[in-house]
Amino acid sequence: MFDTRPDATIIPRALYEEVAERLRQRIFNRELEPGSWIDELKIAEELGISRTPMREALKVLAAEGLITMKVRRGAYVTEVSDKDLSDVYHLLSLLESDAVAVVAERASDEQLKELDRLHQELEAAGRDPERQRERFFQINEQFHMRVLDIANNRWRDQMVSDLRKVMKLNRHNSLFKTGRVEESLLEHRAIMTALQARNPALAAQRMREHFSNGLEAAI
């Protein structure tokens, strides 16, 4: 519902969304560490904006679970507990295993080839993870999101998008543990094999295993 008060401020949608995205990337890049206080005035000054779009951006990030608002203390980057991670991985496993089963059954040959091309790019980045760390993360996410795109359920897509934002708060502590890149690639190969065999049950099982192993590395 719109605020109909005469003095209500109309917030430019694009502005606060842009601010939210900049803050989101600072959080993902660890420029803003988990548990750290967000200095609203300082950041607003850095970005050359008023506090109104800044506050609206913080509301967006709070809804996504990336920041926590504390009464009379302000906004803090969310600290993810082991239980939080377990809950997030559990839900992602359910949602993405369902999606990959749909893809195995319904995807066109060209769509499967597209997924295989992404997988090959992931393999290439995985051969040199220290130099291609961010590229590995990027392609890995592209692969998973493309599976969701092909499965074509916008409600599931929205839930996964929000959950993955929370998962990213911990990503630097999981994927690059010793041997995890190699394990992740093996799991992706198994997913691709199941997809190419057009075996929905096996594809779903492989995706669940992928998230189970990811959680084990994350906590």
Kindly state the tokens that stand for 10.
């109309």
Last-in-domain residue among 26, 43, 77:
77
* Identity of residue 82: D
pLDDT over threshold 90, residue 62: yes
Tokens of 172: 């630097």
> For position 131, what pLDDT does the model report?
78
Under 8 Å between Cβ of 112 and 188: no
Q: What is the pLDDT of residue 202?
A: 98
Residue 175: predicted pLDDT: 57
Residue 1 included in any domain: no
Indicate if the alpha-carbon torsion angle 174, 180, 184, 190 is positive or negative.
negative
Average pLDDT, the chain: 89
Say which CATH number the domain at 171 has: 1.20.120.530
Residues 171 and 210 in one domain: yes
Tell me the per-residue pLDDT of 7-30, one tens digit each, with 9 for 90 and over.
445 454 679 899 999 999 999 888
Q: Cα(114)–Cα(154) distance, rounded to whole angstroms?
A: 20
How is the chain split among helix, strand and coil, in percent rounded to 5?
70, 5, 25
On whether both 107 and 170 belong to a single domain, the answer is yes
50-76 mean pLDDT: 92
| Predicted pLDDT of residue 6 | 43
Q: Let me know whether 71 and 111 are in one domain.
A: no
Burial class (CB in 10 A: 0-12, 13-18, 19+), 31: exposed
CATH number, domain of 61, equals: 1.10.10.10
Print the domain residue range for 190. Answer: 82-218
Confidence at residue 91, expressed as pLDDT on a 0 to 100 scale: 97
Q: Are residues 59 and 86 in the same domain?
A: no
Q: Is the pLDDT of residue 96 over 70?
A: yes
| Total tally of structural domains belonging to the chain | 2
Q: Is residue 86 located within the same domain as residue 54? A: no
At 83, list the tokens: 């239980």
Q: What is the pLDDT of residue 190?
A: 98
**End-of-domain residue from the set 46, 77, 108:** 77
Closest CA to 46 of 71, 23, 75: 23
pLDDT tens, residue by residue, 136-184:
889 999 999 999 999 999 999 999 998 998 888 876 555 566 678 889 9
Domain boundary among 36, 58, 77: 77
- % of residues, the chain, pLDDT over 70: 90
- pLDDT at position 60 is 93
Please tell me whether residue 3 adopts helix, strand or coil conformation.
Answer: coil
Q: Are residues 127 and 41 in the same domain?
A: no
Is 138 found in the same domain as 210? yes
